[in-house]
């Protein structure tokens, strides 16, 4: 049996893309928590259905539109949307793929969006889903929208579709990150134009709205996927793609489903969920994991939420919880961060979305057999490591203390301070902090290796691994291939990462990355003329493609170190 606990560590970290804004405040967020969840590992009026001919069960009925499609207007199954032409692409932003999950629809599976008449302006990103931010909240519960970029000239043949789920540890972020910036991490214009491809990015419910459910909800007849609403949102968005992407020039038979970090966790979840069958043709998990939680823990978390919101003794607990303001729900429980306890939100094995743990499903061969890629970066934990430490170590003595803190905060199995230091001696690294980055990143690589091995052993469809080792010229983020740096190259969003003048090597690697991802979406094989060959994965030699300058292929990706961590963290 594969080590599911270890594999969940592969991407179980707070995303530095948003985490940098929260480090100062979350160290002080200890209020109102009763110790439900373990410390983080490296770490919705059911109305308007008849108006659209849709049933409460979520089936989509046709909406009649008198709008004639044109260069800037596309007619979807809910109504027409007017986008904007940007260079060689068209962008349609803030398009509803489900009804706003508010009022009686809070903590319900996503329901069909209402029809609209005329043209809906789709030139601005929709609101991000509500999340906790410092002592307050940002975002909105009316957030189930997606964005589509496609070449401005209709393609002669349908294009592959790249469907992306954003990071944020399932508690933060959105398709228009960050909030107060003209630069967007996940703007799909460059990617769509240079693929060429149709690019879709989505919002999904976060934190307690997306991954928590009170036991009182279980009695409701329309509940499927109890406590897994964020993942159900992603599935609803994929169904929207299947119904509508052809109108944007995309091919619904060639959909690459992928996400990074939290989005990577959703990739693994959807890869193994029976509810997602037939919705995608290939999958990538970038710096993600396959960790899940239990219904019992989800319900225990909801009990404390109800208590903190004054709903525990209500005659109608579900009604009381849904009547609470979005801000009070988002703020009622602290989120686990580094060595600070709190709630860690994950999908749960509910019997509908997931019938067993993702790794067990893969091992049984019951997952969706599609071409699969898993990726990691060389310095996954460089941004979030300070959250686990009392101080950044500069001496051997401080290194020893830091290793002990990591073992305790991250629950590193049978690891001992002496054993870890012997395997990662300071003499082998420029600084003690570099040694900590190396050892924690190897933990992520080990989990990634387990996932790759398990998928490869359970299907004949190709499996591949990638390793991003190239950093960017950023004044905001640290040097090296930090967690999320691959998104700068994939979306060509260097400015959003503080790299306002990417050099020729960065641009070349960005274009190459886009080429691999687009070819993979198109055919299930990322290789192509002139590209460095990306080898198929096998458990014996552990081959991979290293995204560096230049790109190279290799075998034995930190094999000895991964063997060490697999032995230490095995049950």
Residue ranges covered by each domain of the chain: 41-373, 378-569
Q: What is the pLDDT of residue 446?
A: 96
What does the DSSP 8-state code read for residue 293?
B
b/e burial code for range 232-258 (CB count within 10 A of at least 16 → b): bbbbbbbbbbeebbebbbbbbebbbbb
- Alpha-carbon distance of 281 to 251, in angstroms, equals 11
pTM of the prediction? 0.91
Q: Angle 559-569/432-458 helices, nearest 10 degrees?
A: 80
To the nearest 5 percent, what fractions of the chain are helix, strand and coil?
35, 15, 50
Which residues, 6+ apart, have CB-to-CB distance to 416 below 8 Å? 407
Stretches in the chain below the pLDDT threshold 50: 1, 10-59, 180
- Alpha-carbon distance of 317 to 215, in angstroms, equals 9
Which residues, 6+ apart, have CB-to-CB distance to 200 below 8 Å? 146, 147, 148, 161, 162, 163, 164, 188, 237, 241, 245
Q: How far is CA 324 from CA 166, 299, 313, in A?
A: 27, 18, 14
Phi, psi at 164, each rounded to 5°: -115, 135
- Alpha-carbon distance of 30 to 340, in angstroms, equals 8
Q: What is the pLDDT of residue 103?
A: 95
Q: What is the pLDDT of residue 181?
A: 54
Whether 378-569 and 41-373 are alike in CATH topology: the answer is yes
Q: What is the pLDDT of residue 406?
A: 95
b/e burial code for range 8-45 (CB count within 10 A of at least 16 → b): bbbbbbbbbbbbebbbeebeebeeebeebbebbbbbbe
Cα atoms in the 13 Å half-sphere on the side-chain side of 246: 6
Phi, psi at 50, each rounded to 5°: -65, -30
CATH of the domain spanning 378-569: 3.40.50.1820
Q: Which residue has the tokens 């060490």?
A: 564
Which residues, 6+ apart, have CB-to-CB distance to 567 below 8 Å? none
Q: What is the pLDDT of residue 26?
A: 37
Nearest to 471 by CA among 449, 487, 447: 487
Q: What is the pLDDT of residue 52?
A: 32
- Alpha-carbon distance of 75 to 82, in angstroms, equals 9
Measured from the Cβ of residue 417, the count of other Cβ atoms closer than 10 Å reads 16
- Alpha-carbon distance of 95 to 78, in angstroms, equals 10
Q: What is the pLDDT of residue 5?
A: 54
- Alpha-carbon distance of 170 to 463, in angstroms, equals 26
- Alpha-carbon distance of 245 to 420, in angstroms, equals 50
Q: Can you give the three-state secondary structure of 319-348, one letter per residue?
A: HHHHHCCHHHHHHCCCECECCECCECCCCE
3-class secondary-structure state, position 274: helix
Q: What is the pLDDT of residue 3?
A: 57
Q: What is the pLDDT of residue 476?
A: 83
Phi, psi at 89, each rounded to 5°: -135, 165
CATH of the domain spanning 41-373: 3.40.50.1820
- Alpha-carbon distance of 398 to 345, in angstroms, equals 32
Q: What is the pLDDT of residue 184?
A: 74
- Alpha-carbon distance of 403 to 104, in angstroms, equals 48
- Cis amide linkage into residue 196, ω under 30° from 0: yes
């Amino acid at each position: 049996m594969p080590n599911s606990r270890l594999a969940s560590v592969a991407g179980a970290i707070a995303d530095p893309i948003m985490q940098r804004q929260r480090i100062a405040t979350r160290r002080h967020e200890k209020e109102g928590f009763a110790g439900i969840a373990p410390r983080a590992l490296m770490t919705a009026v059911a109305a308007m259905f008849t108006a659209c001919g849709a049933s409460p069960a979520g089936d989509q009925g046709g909406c009649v539109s008198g709008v004639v499609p044109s260069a800037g207007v596309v007619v979807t199954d809910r109504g027409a949307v007017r986008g904007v032409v940007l260079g060689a692409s068209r962008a349609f932003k803030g398009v509803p793929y489900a009804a706003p999950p508010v009022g009686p629809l809070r903590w319900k599976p996503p329901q069909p969006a209402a029809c609209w008449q005329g043209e809906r302006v789709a030139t601005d990103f929709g609101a991000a889903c509500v999340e906790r931010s410092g002592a307050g909240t940002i975002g909105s519960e009316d957030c189930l929208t997606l964005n589509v970029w496609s070449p401005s000239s209709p393609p002669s043949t349908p294009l592959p579709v790249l469907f992306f789920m954003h990071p944020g540890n399932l508690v933060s972020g959105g398709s228009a990150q960050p909030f107060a910036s003209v630069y967007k991490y996940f703007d799909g214009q460059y990617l769509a134009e240079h693929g060429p491809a149709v690019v879709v990015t989505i919002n999904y419910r976060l934190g307690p709205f997306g991954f928590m459910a009170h036991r009182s909800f279980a009695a409701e007849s329309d509940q499927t996927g109890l406590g897994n609403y964020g993942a159900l949102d992603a599935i609803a968005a994929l169904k929207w793609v299947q119904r509508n992407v052809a109108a944007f020039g995309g091919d619904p038979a060639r959909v690459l489903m992928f996400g990074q970090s939290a989005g990577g966790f959703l990739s693994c979840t959807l890869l193994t969920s029976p509810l997602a069958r037939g919705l995608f043709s290939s999958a990538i998990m970038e710096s993600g994991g396959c960790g899940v939680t239990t219904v019992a823990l989800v319900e225990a978390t909801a009990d404390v939420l109800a208590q903190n919101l004054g709903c525990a003794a209500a005659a109608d607990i579900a009604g009381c919880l849904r009547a609470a303001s979005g801000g009070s729900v988002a703020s009622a429980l602290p989120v686990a961060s580094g060595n600070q306890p709190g709630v860690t939100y994950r999908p749960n094995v509910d019997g509908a979305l997931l019938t067993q743990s993702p790794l067990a499903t893969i091992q049984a061969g019951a997952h969706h057999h599609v071409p699969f890629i898993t990726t990691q970066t060389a310095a996954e934990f460089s941004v979030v490591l300070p959250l686990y430490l009392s101080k950044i170590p500069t001496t051997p003595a401080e290194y020893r203390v830091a290793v002990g803190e990591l073992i305790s905060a991250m629950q590193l199995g049978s690891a001992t301070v002496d054993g870890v230091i012997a395997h990662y001696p300071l003499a082998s690294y420029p600084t003690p902090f570099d040694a900590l980055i190396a050892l924690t990143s190897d933990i992520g690589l080990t989990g990634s290796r387990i996932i790759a091995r398990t998928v490869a052993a359970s299907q004949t469809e190709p499996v591949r691994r990638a390793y991003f080792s190239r950093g960017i010229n950023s004044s905001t983020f640290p040097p090296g291939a930090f967690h999320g740096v691959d998104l700068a190259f994939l979306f060509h969003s260097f400015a959003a990462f503080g790299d306002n003048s990417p050099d020729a090597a960065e641009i070349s690697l960005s274009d190459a990355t886009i080429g691999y991802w687009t070819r993979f979406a198109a055919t299930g094989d990322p290789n192509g003329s002139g590209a460095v060959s990306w080898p198929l994965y096998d458990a014996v030699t552990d081959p991979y493609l290293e995204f560096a300058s230049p790109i190279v292929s290799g075998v034995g990706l930190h094999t000895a170190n991964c063997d060490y961590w697999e032995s230490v963290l095995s049950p």
